[in-house]
Amino acid sequence: MSSLYKIAILPGDAIGPEIMAQAVRVFGVIEAHRDLSFELTEAPFGAAAYFAEGKAFPERTKAICDAADAILKGPVGLSFEESQKIPLAEQPERGAILPLRARYNTFANFRPVCLSRGMAHFSPLKPTIIKDGIDILLIRELVGGLYFGKKERGTDTAGKRYVHELLEYTEDQVRQVLLVAFEQARQRKQRLHNIHKSNVLMSSVLWNEVLDEVHRDYQDVEVIPLLVDAAATALCLNPGQFDVMVMENMFGDILSDQCGGILGSLGLMPSACVGPEKAYYEPSHGSAPDIAGKNIANPYAMIGSVAMMLEMSFAMNKEAKLVWDAMQGVFADGYSTPDLAASSDAMQVVSTEEFGDRVITRLDAALAEASA
Ligand code: NAD
Ligand code: IPM
Ligand code: MN
């Protein structure tokens, strides 16, 4: 009997449905060449869900996600002005993304920062800095810290407004993500950059203590501590020094977007959000309301998130590699969406859909050749 993989599809908002339409085509091509099936079930999520059903993460979407082997999520969110039309608790970030992460305890967020040699010219950094490309794995803790800590707003006796927002971590929460990072470092170059701020934050002091304990079982891995502010500079001046980087939630949010800038576009940042039982996959970038509806968004991160799912949830390493190769082949042929076109006069600008067409044509040919 051939295998069946159940996937929940959450298209999301703004450019979400546009890039998701290209990403899901990958499943169809693989099915056509392999003795397996993907069962895709689409469900509303984010602002679209709120306007249609009154909830950013409706109960029926939760049930579809619960029943799925893996979840593919498009970006959600609206422009700042449009967001104000939704009550705070149902805005897609608070009402959908964070509850999704909490529901499946997706504590380990894998954000690969990669430019192959043929894509090196996409970076705004000088060729002398980028050299043959970039290959960093940023691991971000995803269910703790400030984003999930207790929050309180109030007014003091003098009538002044105040806010308390707690940065909370337990040692177990810290240990579980560090274990993932050490394992990745062991499998890669045995080098782990620990990004922290222990000169100020007690949370970083605890983080570093736990790191020392975990390190005892990973003596083959060299740990290089780096303060987060210095890391921001080092990423621009010498990204080649990094292999695996690990950090808490907010540091990872900010530095991963900086990494998108170093690559040349946020559209080049896929991700995997991994929990003990389930993982979901999404681009690291947002819903880009400024370019929505124009068929110009870069679908690379969304399609790359499918490649990460194939490898990490379904152990389809060969198929995943063919997806990356197909996308890089399209760039090598000289085609890109407009976000990357400024990097070279020789690039021909294509739409979201045409980029998808070209990836699918290449993937189809590669899969046919691989099974011949
Ligand atoms: P953004 O990542 O959506 O966009 C920042 C810039 O990058 C914009 O100029 C945009 O056009 C560009 N960009 C992003 N992805 C692109 C792509 N695939 N192709 C080409 N260009 C791309 O960040 P923002 O504008 O700050 O946020 C917009 C909304 O997205 C907000 O509501 C925010 O909360 C939400 N958001 C959602 C997620 C998520 O779903 N995981 C992540 C980040 C932000
Ligand atoms: C990301 C996003 C989210 C985060 C928001 C939209 C909740 O910026 O995935 O990087 O802050 O984690
Ligand atoms: Mn972010």
Considering the candidates 243, 253, 339, 364, report the single residue annotated as catalytic.
253
- Alpha-carbon separation of residue 257 from 143, 210, 283, 343 (angstroms): 18, 27, 11, 19
Paired sense of beta strands 151-155 and 161-165, if any: antiparallel
Give the C-alpha separation, 73 to 10, whole Å. Answer: 5
pLDDT tens-place values along the chain, 372 residues long: 689 999 999 999 999 999 999 999 999 999 999 999 999 999 999 999 999 999 999 999 999 999 999 999 999 999 999 999 999 999 999 999 999 999 999 999 999 999 999 999 999 999 999 999 999 999 999 999 999 999 999 999 999 999 999 999 999 999 999 999 999 999 999 999 999 999 999 999 999 999 999 999 999 999 999 999 999 999 999 999 999 999 999 999 999 999 999 999 999 999 999 999 999 999 999 999 999 999 999 999 999 999 999 999 999 999 999 999 999 999 999 999 999 988 777 899 999 999 999 999 999 999 999 987
Q: Are 195 and 226 in contact (CB under 8 A)?
A: yes
DSSP secondary structure string for all residues of 226-267: EEHHHHHHHHHH-GGG-SEEEE-HHHHHHHHHHHHHHHT-GG
* Spacing, Cα 223 to ligand 1 middle (Å): 32
Q: Are 359 and 22 in contact (CB under 8 A)?
A: yes
How many CB atoms lie under 10 A from the CB of residue 87?
Answer: 11
User: Which one-letter DSSP state was computed for residue 13?
Assistant: S
CA-nearest residue for atom 12, ligand 2, is 253
Paired sense of beta strands 348-349 and 272-274, if any: unpaired
Name which of 185, 283, 284 is nearest 242 in CA terms.
185
Span 23-66, pLDDT tens digits: 999 999 999 999 999 999 999 999 999 999 999 999 999 999 99
Q: Is 172 a catalytic residue?
A: no
Which amino acid would we find at residue 20? M
Q: Are 12 and 74 in contact (CB under 8 A)?
A: yes
Give the H or E element holding residue 17: helix 16-23
Rounded to the nearest 10 degrees, what angle do helices 300-312 and 317-332 cross at?
Answer: 160
List the CATH code of the domain at 1-114+269-372.
3.40.718.10
233: burial class by Cβ within 10 Å (0-12, 13-18, 19+)?
exposed
CA-nearest residue for atom 16, ligand 1, is 267
Closest approach atom of ligand 1 to CA 77: 32
Q: Which residues contact 123 (CB under 8 A, 6 or more apart)?
A: 115, 130, 134, 262, 263, 264, 343
Q: Is 321 a catalytic residue?
A: no
Give the C-alpha separation, 246 to 251, whole Å. Answer: 9
Paired sense of beta strands 134-141 and 244-247, if any: parallel
Span 99-134, pLDDT tens digits: 999 999 999 999 999 999 999 999 999 999 999 999
Q: Are 41 and 8 in contact (CB under 8 A)?
A: yes
Our answer on whether the CB atom of 257 is closer than 6 Å to any ligand 1 atom is no
- Alpha-carbon separation of residue 158 from 37, 151, 161, 241 (angstroms): 64, 21, 9, 51
Indicate the top mutation candidate among 79, 111, 266, 282 to test ligand 1's pocket, ranked by most ligand atoms within 8 A of CB: 266
* Spacing, Cα 253 to ligand 2 middle (Å): 6
Parts of the chain belonging to CATH 3.40.718.10: 1-114+269-372, 124-263
Strand partners, 137: 112, 244
Token readout for 269 is 């940042």
Span 195-221, pLDDT tens digits: 999 999 999 999 999 999 999 999 999
Our answer on whether the CB atom of 325 is closer than 6 Å to any ligand 2 atom is no
Helices and strands (H, E) in the chain, number of each type: 16, 14
Name which of 242, 226, 305, 220 is nearest 269 in CA terms.
305
Our answer on whether the CB atom of 285 is closer than 6 Å to any ligand 1 atom is yes
Q: Quote the pTM value.
A: 0.98
Our answer on whether the CB atom of 76 is closer than 6 Å to any ligand 2 atom is no
List the CATH code of the domain at 124-263.
3.40.718.10
Give the length of the chain. Answer: 372
